[in-house]
């Protein structure tokens, strides 16, 4: 059973989905640490409820990204973390963590990358009047949502789609897809190089 760390900055809905499948025995992993850069984030409450240790930091308290990532890395090593799962973590991963966990950091993004990278992908899709959006799970590299894609799942936008309705659709897809992909990655242990796609 691999030890994983989940990185989150917000409400932690994907974090909760991962907690739920681990507790149900459907994901062969031990969530050893939550890393959170927002002391007021609800993800921290989810970790407390599940008795998961947290490392909480504020980036402005450190002179540079390198300094806070050094502390994150120390926490990961202390916890024996083997794999990093980003779940709404709103910071780019730096070179120190990328080097230490090469091929073992994954992210979930609420669009069909390369469309609508970065912040507010849902708002970007609505502003572009896109007919399709969706979910992408990908390995993390030094860029903004540019790492190799593992899998994508499409979500159709209705004619009168709102931010709230699209977010609900995308989260429903995320909460089902992310745990199943993590199970595949953690049990196989292989880096997936080909892009796969599933359409609703």
Residues with catalytic roles: 109
Q: Give one DSSP letter per residue of 106-151, joined into a string.
A: EEEESS-TTSS-SS-HHHHHHHTT-SEEEEEEEE--SSSS-SPEEE
Nearest alpha-carbon partner for 197 in 165, 179, 173, 175: 173
Nearest alpha-carbon partner for 100 in 84, 79, 85, 88: 84
Check if the beta carbon of residue 23 is closer than 8 Å to that of residue 179.
Answer: no
Q: How far lies 103's CA from each of 98, 180, 184, in Å?
A: 8, 18, 14
């Amino acid at each position: 059973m691999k030890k994983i760390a989940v990185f989150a900055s917000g409400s932690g809905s994907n974090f909760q989905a991962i907690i739920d499948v681990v507790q149900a025995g459907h994901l062969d992993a031990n969530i050893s640490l939550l890393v959170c850069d927002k002391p007021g984030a609800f993800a921290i409450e989810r970790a407390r409820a599940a008795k998961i240790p947290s490392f909480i930091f504020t980036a402005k308290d450190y002179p540079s990204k390198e300094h806070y990532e050094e502390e994150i890395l120390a926490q990961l090593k202390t916890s024996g973390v083997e794999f990093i799962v980003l779940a709404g973590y709103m910071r780019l991963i730096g070179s120190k963590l990328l080097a230490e966990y090469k091929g073992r950091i994954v992210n979930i993004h609420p669009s069909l990358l390369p469309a609508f990278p970065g912040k507010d992908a849902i708002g970007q899709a609505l502003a572009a009047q896109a007919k399709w959006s969706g979910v992408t799970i990908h390995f993390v590299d030094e860029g903004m949502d540019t790492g190799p894609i593992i899998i994508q799942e499409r979500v159709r936008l209705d004619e009168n789609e709102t931010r709230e309705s699209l977010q609900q659709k995308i989260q429903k897809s995320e909460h089902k897809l992310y745990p199943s992909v993590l199970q595949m990655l953690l049990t196989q242990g292989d880096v997936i190089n080909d892009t796969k796609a599933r359409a609703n």
